[in-house]
Chain A
Amino acid sequence: MEWNFAPVIANLDILLLGLLNTLKVTGLALSLGVPLGLGLALMRLSQNRPISMISEFIIEFFRTTPPLVQLFWFFFAFPILFNINMTPYLAAVVTFSIQSSAFFAEIFRSGIQSIDHGQWEGSKAIGMTRNQSLRRVILPQAVKRMIPAFMERSIELLKTTTLVSTIAYTDLMYQANSVAQSTFRPLEVYSVIAAIYFILIFGFSQLSIVVEHRLAKSGEGTVN
């Protein structure tokens, strides 16, 4: 058994394009998933029972079904059902936005619920509406507490995006499959992309640990 990294280095541009696409899908799913998650969390905390139940069902459904099943559903079933064209890219963004929004919703909810009830009463006492107190008083404090959980979820999302390779979106995993097949060097190719993912994700994890320590020092609790 001899290691030979030359074929990997020769195809580095293909792999880097894949890495770029991985980051693109992650970033887009994150920027759609977070606002969607906030919306779901507010619905779930709503006083209106049917609205809260609908949101609870959506959240639980997307948390209890495997992301790969969701991806297949949005790629193979959804386009026929609604008679639209679905690209692998679009299916990936839709699936991961909704899937991560269900998890973000629970983070938002526990963040909002962790704020002392007196804060709501205080803002009500000075004449704020529910929306105003949420926006001006509750959320700014809650968001700070949510940051560690939020970062952990984003890292999970980055790892989950490898699934898009199964519907032929050219992310890092997919590019690795094609390079491994064309060069007959699966050992080196898969080891290199494992290392790329490791460096990326380990970097983000360390960053989130630093942030968490900073927040702990500034005297704020965190929620999971």
Chain B
Amino acid sequence: MDHNWDFATIFTNWRVYWVGLQATLLMFGVTVTLGMLGGLLIGILRYIKHPAAAWPARAFVEVFRNTPVLVQIIWFYYAFPILTGVETSPFLAAVLGISLNTMAFSAEIYRAGIQSIDKGQWEAGKAIGMSFTQTLRRIILPVALKRVLPALTNRGIEVFKMSTLASIVAYNETLSQAKLIAELNYNPIESYTAVAIIFFVVLYPVVQGTYALERVLNRSDR
């Protein structure tokens, strides 16, 4: 191991990484928002078991949970435009793949949370004259969301890591930018080590935060 570590080129090119990190954060922001909100809707549809909604919601969840995200992104990039005539940019293809995948996973989290609430809560809401949506919004969801918060944050961490897959369709997020630096400066060691460190530095505090959150939620009266 006689390699001379030289991070100088990494520091002189910090702007390239900064552009990448911003793109990563944008990708994360869009996909996590769409995924978590869409997932809530599908999770509720899965819960109410309405005949018109049950089958499509189940099919959606199973398809997107049981195929690799990379296959989904590639499919949206190369196959979807042929099928629909709609051109997908690298950004759009990655957003579609990652958000739909996240929707499917978070839908199951929300559903489990709603199911964990005692049936008596629904009956009580009904007894004092609340409609289904009122009971759901005012009584069930506030408690259910608190219970599933740790599972949702874990999913969020996964989504952040998934954003690197956008590099495969040449979206300029952190990893593609590092690849560019590695090819221009012939320094793959420092350049890829830097990406690993960037992700570790961003996510490690978040992961520690989720541990703390879990402890707090366990202590509080659920």
Contact = CB atoms under 8 A, between A and B. Distances in A.
Interface range, A side: 35 or more
B115 to A, nearest CB: 16
Secondary structure class of chain A's binding surface, majority of residues: helix
Contacts of B163: 66
B218 interface: no
B189 A77 contact: yes
A66 B62 contact: no
Interface stretch (A45-53, A192-200, A215-223): A192-200
Contacts of B155: none
A180 B78 contact: yes
A80 B3 contact: yes
A191 B189 CA distance: 36
Nearest to A165: B70
A197 B67 CA distance: 6
Contacts of A67: 161
B86 interface: no
Interface residues of B, number: 43
Interface string A153-183: 0000001101101100000010001001000
Interface stretch (A27-35, A68-76, A123-131): A68-76
B71 A197 contact: yes
Given A76-B182, A202-B62, A191 B199 contact: no
A10 interface: no
Interface of A: 1, 60-61, 63-70, 72-73, 76-77, 80-83, 159-160, 162-163, 165-166, 173, 177, 180, 186-187, 190-191, 193-194, 197-198, 201-202, 205
Interface of B: 1-3, 62-63, 65-72, 74-75, 78-79, 82-83, 85, 157, 161-165, 167-168, 175, 178-179, 182, 188-189, 192-193, 195-196, 199-200, 203-204, 207
